[in-house]
């Protein structure tokens, strides 16, 4: 793995939220939770309206030209941002790890890519490593036990593991346990799950076995695609446990005057894939969910 660009300190800077495609289109309550937490700690938040996909699907498929087109749009949208925060290790890794190498023959765009990479943070590392915050003074309404699934790109490209755990562990009424093979892939892997569905399904089943064996009531992760993969499998098999993004749990611990309870049902009807209300056997993956009504944009 090549070294990542050195980043500028985010201290005292406003934040531009890079919400990612899957959160914007399928899991908007996660984006709203990020905004709630940032506002709780007094950080001004901007949501650049021109943002689209970071280009990772095209890049991973070998479509370099299309990936560069998406990257240019991202760089234009976030050109003036002092700090870019993203609730996804996978998409943050695309900007920080791949963007600086995406424009070998275009020095102007390469320089802009380096600048963006130096300003981009996955949300947990922004809070813990960037701002030095661990205890956000949060309290869950009732005791809950959690375990983490470490998403591949965040763990292997960005080294993410302890920051999100530390944030949850410092919440009142939250207990953390470790799940067996928490750092092993859930089988999603973007196009991998489409190109090799049998292997993907076998990997997912192993992960589901570990989820069901852990005493944790809820599994937490930092990438919505992994969440969709695991929740789809759990729902199909009729298992009661569910996977959530850890930032939603942070938001639920906010004082009630700061968190207005963005719920899954606020954006998705019962039966939407990957959600607690999904009917057993009726969930086929996140791509079948309907588009919400621009919730993160409305919030900002």
Distance CA 128, CA 43 (A): 14
Span 46-72, pLDDT tens digits: 999 999 999 999 999 999 999 999 999
Structural domain total, the chain: 2
Of the pLDDT bands very low, low, confident and very high (cuts 50, 70, 90), residue 280 is very low
Domain boundary among 129, 157, 172: 129
> HSE (CB half, 13 Å, CA atoms) of 274?
22
Global pTM? 0.82
CA 216 to chain centre: 20
Span 98-128, pLDDT tens digits: 999 999 999 999 999 999 999 999 999 999 9
State the pLDDT at residue 156.
Answer: 79
- Both 97 and 159 in a single domain? no
Range of the domain at 90: 15-129
Q: Is 138 helix (H, G, I), strand (E, B) or coil?
A: coil
User: Residue 73 pLDDT more than 60?
Assistant: yes
Domain boundary among 72, 105, 129: 129
Distance CA 82, CA 245 (A): 25
User: Residue 1 pLDDT more than 60?
Assistant: no
State the pLDDT at residue 5.
Answer: 60
- Both 101 and 244 in a single domain? no
144 forms beta bridges with 174
């Amino acid at each position: 793995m090549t070294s990542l660009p050195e980043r500028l300190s985010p201290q005292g800077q406003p934040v531009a939220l890079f919400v990612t495609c899957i959160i914007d289109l399928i899991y908007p309550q996660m984006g709203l939770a990020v905004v709630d937490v940032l506002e709780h700690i007094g950080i001004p938040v901007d949501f650049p309206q021109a943002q689209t996909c970071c280009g990772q699907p095209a890049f991973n498929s070998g479509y370099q030209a299309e990936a560069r087109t998406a990257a240019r749009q991202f760089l234009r949208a976030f050109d003036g941002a002092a700090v870019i925060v993203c609730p996804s290790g996978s998409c943050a890794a695309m900007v920080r790890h791949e963007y600086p190498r995406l424009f070998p023959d275009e020095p102007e765009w390469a320089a802009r890519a380096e600048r963006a990479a130096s300003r981009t943070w996955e949300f947990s590392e922004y809070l813990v490593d960037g701002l030095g915050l661990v205890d956000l003074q949060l309290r869950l309404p009732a005791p809950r036990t959690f375990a983490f699934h470490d998403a591949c790109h965040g763990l292997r490209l960005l080294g993410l593991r302890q920051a999100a755990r530390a944030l949850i562990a410092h919440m009142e009424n939250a207990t953390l346990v470790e799940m067996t093979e928490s750092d092993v892939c859930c089988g999603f892997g973007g196009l991998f799950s489409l190109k090799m569905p049998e292997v993907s399904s076998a990997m997912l089943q192993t992960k589901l076995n570990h989820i069901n064996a852990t005493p944790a009531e809820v599994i937490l992760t930092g990438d919505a695609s992994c969440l969709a993969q695991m929740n789809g499998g759990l729902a199909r098999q009729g298992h009661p446990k569910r996977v959530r993004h850890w930032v939603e749990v942070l938001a639920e611990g906010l004082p009630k005057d700061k968190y207005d309870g963005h719920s899954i049902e606020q954006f998705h009807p019962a039966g939407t894939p990957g959600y607690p209300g999904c009917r057993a056997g009726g969930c086929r993956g996140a791509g079948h969910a309907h588009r919400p009504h621009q919730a993160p944009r409305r919030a900002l």
